[in-house]
Amino acid sequence: MTNKRKSTDELRDLSDEIDDSILGASDAEVSEELASLGIDPEKVAAEMGAIAQEAKRLAGKSRLASAKDAVSTFRSNPPIAPQGDRTALRSRLQRMRSGRPGGNDGLMMAARKGKDMSASDEEGALDDLAQLEALESEDPEASKE
Amino acid sequence: MDHASAPLAGELTEPESRHLAPEEVLERLDSLSVGELRRLRLIEQRRLAGTDFSPGLLYQEAVCQALVGERHCPREVSFVAFLAQSMKSIASHRRKALSRQVPTSKVDGSGNLVDLPIAADQLDPEETLIEREAADVVAEIYKLLEGDDEAQLTIMTIADGKKGKKLRDELGIDQARFDYIMKRIRRAVAKKHPKGWPT
């Protein structure tokens, strides 16, 4: 004994078979069927191409919006290093500066014409370092690159 | 954009290596032949019923979702079949979303709100209405193919849940014969339901 299937399931299966049969139909059959629905088969490729271009534009916009959201979320919740960690970060920063070839970290100081970092510059660098460490802890692979 | 579940083509969220990467999706999209685009247009047309998508927008949504990675094309699935499946799924979700807005009550002549007649033993009135509508469409399709016993028997076997080789074996026909019958069914249905059916 079998239970009667739901009509919605029957229709779904029929619809799927029709889609499959369209995918397997000949080009001539497909063109004929489009024409019978009032769709000019000769114009379809150009129309679908234009739609795909628009989809690419929208997808690009959507990805950009997601990236902006992610950056903004990250910036609105910057990792705050506790005082103890800040001391460790300060030592790490000192090591980075002294370990750089050519001595007194010319790269970071280029904008200050070789002068030392101000206190606020150093605090900013520590914030950046804290964010970098937070990122590395989220993605351990990134630190190996 | 929309969402889905279940391991259907276009709906998986498994490791990227099992699916096309975004640049591969772009490549496949740009490589679709004229014949494939025509097939997709025909499939889109018969998935529009019951949605508020105008022609072109269902395809656009499917492409968009593939490009932003909301739907992933498994490597073993043809890209055309993936887009067809995505359109089906997106249309289905849209229909469901719209059906939630279908009233199950109405205002009568005296301005009173009255429930639409639905069998009392049914738990979900919305589902009952959809099922009733589907039953009407099934009956109508059999009627459309009156005189074509082979087509009616094929529909009956499909409605029974048979697919692929099992379906052809049950009907006792080969693929070529099956394709020919499906062509007749497709054309008869398209005359009455050019945009498919709204369930």
Domain boundaries, chain A: 8-73, 80-144
Task: Say if B8 falls within a structural domain.
Answer: no
Q: Are residues B94 and B134 in the same domain?
A: no
Share of chain B above pLDDT 90, in %: 71
Question: Which of B46, B84, B131 shows the shortest C-beta gap to A23?
Answer: B84
Residue A105 has a pLDDT of 47
Tell me the chain A residues in contact with residue B60 when contact means C-beta distances shorter than 8 Å: 51-52, 54-55, 58
Question: Which of A9, A10, A30 shows the shortest C-beta gap to B39?
Answer: A30
Residue B104 has a pLDDT of 58
Task: Say if B108 falls within a structural domain.
Answer: no
CB B11 within 8 A of CB B4: yes
Q: Is the pLDDT of residue B17 over 90?
A: no
Q: Chain B: residue nearest A51 by CA? A: B60
Q: Are residues B139 and B182 in the same domain?
A: yes
Task: Say if B64 falls within a structural domain.
Answer: yes
Last residue of a domain, one of B99, B126, B161: B99
> What's the rounded Cα separation, in Å, for the pair A90 and A84?
10
Between B189 and A127, name the one with better pLDDT: B189
Task: Say if B10 falls within a structural domain.
Answer: no
Last residue of a domain, one of B47, B65, B99: B99
> What's the rounded Cα separation, in Å, for the pair B178 and B164?
10
User: What is the interface pTM, i.e. ipTM, of the complex?
Assistant: 0.81
Tell me the chain A residues in contact with residue B38 when contact means C-beta distances shorter than 8 Å: 27, 30-31, 34, 41, 44-45
Please state, as a whole number, how many other Cβ atoms lie within 10 Å of the Cβ of residue B71: 29
How do residues B100-155 score in pLDDT, each as one tens digit? 765 556 666 677 766 655 544 556 787 888 899 999 999 999 999 999 999 999 99
Residue B152 has a pLDDT of 97
The reply to whether residue B45 touches residue A7, judged by beta carbons under 8 angstroms, is no
In this prediction the pTM is 0.70
- B119: phi then psi, degrees, rounded to nearest 5: -50, 135
CB B108 within 8 A of CB B100: no
CB B3 within 8 A of CB B70: yes
Those of residues 90-149 in B touching chain A at CB distance below 8 A are 130-131, 134-135, 137-138, 141
Q: Are residues B124 and B187 in the same domain?
A: yes
Q: In which domain, by residue range, is B160 found?
A: 116-192
The reply to whether residue B138 touches residue A10, judged by beta carbons under 8 angstroms, is yes
- Specify whether the backbone of B69 is left (phi greater than 0), alpha (psi in -120 to 50) or beta: left
- A25: three-class secondary structure by DSSP: coil
Tell me the chain B residues in contact with residue A24 when contact means C-beta distances shorter than 8 Å: 179
Q: Are residues B95 and B123 in the same domain?
A: no
Residue B129 has a pLDDT of 86
Question: How many domains in chain B?
Answer: 2
Q: Are residues B82 and B123 in the same domain?
A: no
Per-residue pLDDT of chain A (145 residues; tens, 9 = 90+): 456 789 999 999 999 999 999 999 999 999 999 999 999 999 999 999 999 999 999 999 998 988 888 888 888 876 666 666 777 777 777 777 665 544 444 444 444 554 566 676 677 777 777 777 766 666 555 445 4
Asked if B151 has any chain A CB less than 8 Å from its own CB, the reply is: no
